[in-house]
Structures are given as structure tokens and as C-alpha cells.
């Protein structure tokens, strides 16, 4: 009987001891990847939109101009300057969010803190980009009127973007 008690008190073999360690959380890397992909997609979309708007502003008589039922020309010196500033801000935010999201996706899984910090930076730049888009929408809707279906859809998208950004922030901050 004493022999059995001594065997029970012996430490577990090395292979068993390794399997009993607490496994690292597997949800955080997935959230970091999802947030980074979201930031990269929105960076490409908003960056391309900003580049296209800058092209149209530099070539006002180009054949690629928008049809009047989709695009509206902002008039007035102050409004034109504000629209141009929004476009430049969208371009800079897109560059920052694309760089941070790409780095977060390319870092190895061992660098959890760095990936999380880069994903937070990309998401912050994404939220700033969405805010600038909302300000641009406010400026254009004051010129064109808000009764159009396109503005209703874009206003809905602004709230969807804000919701997704908020869920991403909460997931990154609360998950360990």
C-alpha cells in the first residue's frame, strides 16, 4: 500500500506535464486578423476614392467625370477648401491604416503585443477615416439635399462603419 502511495506522489512524466499547461488564447489572433483585414479593405476603398477625387479636382474637364445624379459639385470657396482638406485627410488616414494593418498581418504570431498594438493603430486610423467620410457626406448633403436615396444609404453606412469600429475596439481591448 505504501508503495502505491509513493508512485502516486512522483511527478508526472515530461510529456504529460507539457500538455497540462494553459493553452494561450486562440481568439485574440483571430480578432487581430479580422480587424487588420477590415482596416486594410477600408484603407484601399477610401484611399482609392480620395485619389479619384484628387484626380477629378486637378482635371475638372476630364471624360471620367461623375454623372450629376451621383456626384455633386461643392460650390463656394470655403466649402471647396474644406472638401479638398477632407480628401487630403482621407488619403493620409488611408496610408496610415494600410501600413499598420499590413504590418499587423505580416508579423509572426509570437509578437502578440506588437500585433495587437498595430491592429489598434489601424483601427484608430480607420475610425478617423470614417469620421472624415461622415464630414464629407455632411458637406455634400448640405449642397445636394438629403432627400436622395444615395445619401440615405451612405448615412446608414456611416452608422454601420461606426458600429464595426466600436466592436473591433471592444474586442481588441477586452480579449486577452
CB 49 within 8 A of CB 90: yes
CB 94 within 8 A of CB 47: yes
Cα torsion at 65, 67, 72, 74 (round to 10°)? Answer: 30
Helices (H) and strands (E) in the chain, counts: 6, 0
Other Cβ atoms closer than 10 A to 150: 14
- Give dist(CA 123, CA 141) in Å, integer: 26
Q: What are phi and psi of 31, to 5 degrees?
A: -65, -40
Q: Encode the chain (176 residues) as per-residue pLDDT tens digits.
A: 556 655 555 565 555 555 555 555 577 788 899 999 999 999 999 999 888 878 876 655 554 555 454 455 566 677 777 878 888 889 999 999 999 999 999 988 778 888 999 999 999 999 999 998 888 877 776 666 656 677 778 888 889 999 999 999 999 888 86
- Give dist(CA 45, CA 51) in Å, integer: 10
**pLDDT the model gives residue 134:** 87
Helix (H) or strand (E) run with residue 110 in it:
none
**pLDDT the model gives residue 150:** 72
**CB-based contacts of 140: which residues, under 8 Å, 6+ apart?**
72, 74, 83, 151
Amino acid at each position: 500500500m505504501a508503495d502505491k502511495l509513493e508512485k502516486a506522489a512522483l511527478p508526472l512524466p515530461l510529456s504529460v506535464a507539457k500538455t497540462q499547461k494553459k493553452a494561450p488564447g486562440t481568439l485574440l489572433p483571430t480578432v487581430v486578423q479580422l480587424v487588420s483585414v477590415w482596416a486594410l479593405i477600408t484603407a484601399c476603398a477610401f484611399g482609392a476614392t480620395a485619389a479619384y477625387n484628387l484626380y477629378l479636382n486637378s482635371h475638372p474637364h476630364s471624360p471620367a467625370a461623375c454623372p450629376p445624379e451621383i456626384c455633386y459639385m461643392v460650390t463656394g470657396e470655403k466649402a471647396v477648401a474644406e472638401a479638398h482638406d477632407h480628401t487630403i485627410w482621407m488619403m493620409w488616414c488611408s496610408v496610415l491604416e494600410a501600413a499598420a494593418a499590413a504590418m499587423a498581418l505580416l508579423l509572426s504570431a509570437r509578437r502578440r503585443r506588437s500585433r495587437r498594438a498595430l491592429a489598434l493603430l489601424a483601427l484608430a486610423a480607420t475610425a478617423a477615416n470614417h469620421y472624415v467620410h461622415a464630414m464629407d457626406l455632411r458637406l455634400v448633403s448640405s449642397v445636394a439635399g438629403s432627400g436622395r436615396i444615395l445619401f440615405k444609404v451612405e448615412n446608414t453606412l456611416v452608422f454601420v462603419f461606426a458600429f464595426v469600429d466600436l466592436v473591433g475596439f471592444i474586442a481588441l481591448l477586452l480579449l486577452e
